[in-house]
A and B are shown apart, each in its own frame.
Chain A
Amino acid sequence: MSSYRLEKGGQIDRTVPLNFTFDGRAMRGFRGDTLASALLANGRQLVGRSFKYHRPRGVLTAGAAEPNALMTIGSGGRTEPNSRAPMQELYDGLEARSQNRWPSLDHDIGAINGLLSPFLSAGFYYKTFMWPAKFWEKLYEPVIRKAAGLGRATHEADPDAYEKCWAHCDLLVVGGGAAGLAAALTAGRTGTRVILADENATPGGFLLSETATLGGQTAAAYVANILAELGSLDNVTLMPRTTVFGWYDGQVFGAVERVQKHVASPDANQPIERLWRIAARKAVLATGSEERPLVFGGNDVPGVMMAGAMRTYLNRHAVAPGRKTAIFTTNDSGYALASDLEKAGIEVAAIIDSRRDAGFDFAGNAHVIRGGFVSNVLGRSKVEGIEIWREGQSERIAVDNLAMSGGFSPVIHLACHRGGKPRWSNEHAAFLVPDGLKDLHVAGAAAGVWGINPAMRSGCEVSVAALAELGISASPCNIPEIEGAVASLSAQPLWCIPGIRAKAFVDFQNDVHLKDLGLAVQEGYGHVELAKRYTTNGMATDQGKLSNVNAIGLLAEARRISPADVGTTTFRPFYTPVSFGALAGAAVGKHFQPVRKSPLHDWAARRGATFVEAGLWYRSSWFPLPGETHWRQSVDREVRTVRQNVGLCDVSTLGKIEICGADAAEFLNRVYCNGFLKLPVGKARYGLMLREDGFIYDDGTTSRIDENRYVMTTTTAYAAGVMNHLEFCAQAVWPELDVRLASVTDQWAQMAIAGPKARTVLQQLVDEDISNEAFPYLAAREVSLLGGRLRGRLFRISFSGELAYELAVPADCGESVADAIMLAGKVHGICAYGVEALSVLRIEKGHVTHNEINGTVVPADLGMEKMVSPTKPDFIGKHMVHREGLVDPDRLQLVGVVPIDPAHSFRTGAHILQKDAAATLENDEGYVSSSCFSPHVGSTIGLALVKRGASRHGEEVQIWNGLRNEFAMGRLVSPVFVDPRSEKLHV
């Protein structure tokens, strides 16, 4: 295929070729490739443009920290920007596109930013675009945002499904490298519940990139055997392709499993990703280490790669980095790479070891330069050579690629997620996990233990220790004989490199280079948290995985202090980016929230109702008849029909709570501000519920069905809140009261039958006498219906001001009872009415809802001060309701309002001003809380909360809506527009 793929070797399956495209160009890889390895095998070194300077960039790593090879994968709704090519498994048909370039990756106009770089230094936004201020929003920011950037998200809907799950285990092992495998095997063999999570398709970590043998087997074969054993254990769950991204309190770990991100056509019956919360009694952190780049000129030129990554591509994917390699290292790992390269037939021109007295005795052909540095890379879009600095002398050699290794930083992110600060170790030249970790044990390279054998031993020991804390005794798994491994990784930190001429990058993803950090220190932003924000170092989506420690080292050297004193910035979840899809899980579209439908929903739908969302409920808002083209026509007709004949309205959504127990009456007496002790059996009473601060919380009727059995109704919106509140009162405030509560909202279909002919219609269904004498206003009783076929609850209560009843029947009988009422009412001109007409009827009658009871209102504001019992020793709200500010005569009080000219109208929210006052907020005297067109009055009417409103009936006012520039002259009137003496209720 291409000249970069080696003839043999690697863990790829050459019998399964996979076709894919990059920027539309057809390429081919094999099963076992990642997108990055396949691109490299195809000779594609330039894979992206950098964030700010649009510099050509190549694959830098072979793992999760990749800052350069970010691409957009997929098309249509499956477009995923900023995917890290080394983490993306290759599949047949994969479409990848490079980002942040125009018109093409090879010819990118934005690269001119590189020439402008003197003006784009750290803090350049703040310095350059200060003036004129108004240019920022319109010109500077859009232009900067367009030029600097990552991939673009699609606007199409994501066609795939996601889900969220919980998992529980005794021991969670994070990371399946040498240490993690040993820990999992040690624990797994005890029979305890173990989860091994690894972010790659195959656990094994760097073992899969090794040429060392374990017990005479290749490392890959050894890993396969261990995985086979773990897989055979019922108590062990292997979770490949799963990134544990956060450690939270309560020993909960967050993880995302990429279930189908590696397949060509996802199975619609499986999620594409799964978000896990793993509750683990103990955990082992075996996340390995991150190799650090070195900061020299041109260290970002395509062809410069991390030494470990080069080894992975060489050994695991059989990809050659080029023809002629140089290796710049501060530690022994570079020699392992050199040896592997030479075995694969690739010339290693030089190993440049920054240590003057490196003890490693290299047996290969490569020329070893001790005490040397690579100070610059020659070439712009590919490596053409390097400049080596040694003892003040500069020497150039021609190579076409360069490996670098600046030492290793343990991957300790998770260990710091709960607030612990990492601590610097001079011995390791790295930050280690915080002290005093509880329930999280650290093993292998994550603990600064280098080498296969020590890492495995560490994994065993840590696993044994973690299990011991659970009272489980385990014996360490056996560790095989290891041959051919580079034993020691002893490193000396190397921050500042001499002889740099070109840009030397610290943060590749955010294009922060050495001089930016110097500038930060020079300008007084040398503190690590300030330097981070001033330069944006570590603020890209890789969160500084490669750059943070180097930045700290460079800041330390510039300030002549130890990295320990520079400190680190805070590690926060997520370890790597998590898709919004996974976080949302199944809660999208129709599943975003539940839909609540009344038992009469289908009945209303059959009658052509228009529905309106009210919280989770769908309520019927009006019932258009043929020929009605405007909602007002329907609503006005429904209102008139109720006032003249009779109507039926679904009120099932009102909250219904049954309250039982010997102390139920006493309980009600304490939760309502008005008295309930003397409510007789068979009667309903309107109740006002206050908050402890004296303001009204909710209202509704409560009926005494039996000696110790009440049924309370609440408003639709506050049904759940009132239930929680009552439970709080019953359990936490007065647990000594014998009272039981049950929400029965969903158990009953409830309908209001209102209008002068309501009794005539209803009597046809109700077996008992419901005449005014037998069933007077506020009667509330269980009744027999339809010749004893059914029992229901009948309440003579009225929201509309008409003769009215509410009938509750078991939910599953709701539709047939409603049909029966409509049939019985047909000759009396009955109609179904919705919440829109319900609202008009109640405004006409001056009844309040949460439009008025809006959290700012006390009973006196509504003229209900007499409902506040002066005699009860205690009730919720009693002790605050009479505070000075709540009895102020200047408070806003309920009042009605009408336009002086009936042709004028106004809206809810409009403000009330005195007749001659200027329309300013200073002159504001209150506002319209509810309004509608009243067929009864023949104009718009409103309820309003107005200063001293109750004593201002008859006063002319202005009704002003400054937002909509609407204005009407009005008059304050009684809030009761219909039947002010309530005679209709008692007929």
Chain B
Amino acid sequence: MASRIPCPHCGLRPKEEFTVKGAALQRPEAEAGAQAWHDYVYLRDNPRGAYEEYWHHTSGCRRWLVVARNTVTHEVASCRDAAEVKAVTA
């Protein structure tokens, strides 16, 4: 857990304002097939090091963010709006 999150809309804010959802996985296409859906719904990596997660700025701008953080050092490498991440990935 990182102490402060650099929200792209609100600046550096304390973690208590946020809610973590978990791995920032992209939702599969509707036709992706049972295996892809199973992986998306149930399987998670638990890496030591870099990790991307969805964080919700629940008590702030209420935007969903993709936080890239290090699970060992808690350093936040980047924090982007989830909509922008989706737009780039799609």
Binding site for B on A (CB under 8 A): 166, 248-250, 252, 277, 279, 418-419, 692-693, 724, 727-728, 731-733, 735-736, 873-874, 878-880
Contact = CB atoms under 8 A, between A and B. Distances in A.
B78 interface: no
B2 A250 contact: yes
B37 A879 contact: yes
Contact of A249 (B2, B28, B87): B2
A168 B43 CA distance: 40
Contacts of A878: 30
Given A249-B75, A724-B58, A873-B30, A731 B3 contact: no
Given A250-B2, A733-B86, 8 more contacts: A249-B3, A249-B75, A727-B56, A727-B63, A873-B30, A874-B30, A879-B30, A880-B37
Interface of B: 2-4, 12, 14, 19, 21, 27-28, 30, 32, 34, 37, 40-42, 54, 56, 58, 62-64, 66, 72-76, 81-83, 85-87, 90
19 contacts: A166-B14, A249-B2, A249-B75, A250-B3, A250-B76, A252-B4, A419-B72, A419-B73, A692-B27, A727-B63, A728-B21, A728-B56, A732-B54, A732-B66, A732-B86, A873-B30, A878-B30, A879-B28, A880-B41
B87 A252 contact: no
A250 B4 CA distance: 6
Contacts of A419: 72-73
Nearest to B87: A735
A246 to B, nearest CB: 11
A810 B90 CA distance: 42
Contacts of B28: 879
Contacts of B41: 692-693, 880
Contacts of B40: 692
Contacts of B81: 731
Contacts of B32: 879
Nearest to B34: A879
A249 B73 contact: yes
Given A277-B14, A731-B63, A874-B30, A724 B4 contact: no
A170 B40 CA distance: 43
A728 B54 CA distance: 9
B21 to A, nearest CB: 7
Contacts of A693: 41-42
A816 to B, nearest CB: 33
A732 B30 CA distance: 16
Contact of A250 (B19, B74, B87): B74
B6 to A, nearest CB: 9
A166 B15 CA distance: 13
Contact of B64 (A166, A277, A692, A731): A731
Given A248-B3, A724-B58, A728-B56, A735 B82 contact: yes
Given A249-B73, A252-B3, A693-B41, A728 B64 contact: yes
A733 B27 contact: yes
A419 B21 CA distance: 26
Which among A249, A277, A279, A724 has the greatest number of chain B C-beta atoms within 10 A? A249
Contacts of A879: 28, 30, 32, 34, 37
B20 to A, nearest CB: 12
Nearest to A873: B30
List the 10 shortest-distance A-B pairs measured between CB atoms, nearest first: A735-B83, A250-B3, A249-B74, A732-B82, A874-B30, A252-B3, A250-B4, A879-B37, A731-B64, A732-B64
A279 B56 contact: no
A811 to B, nearest CB: 21
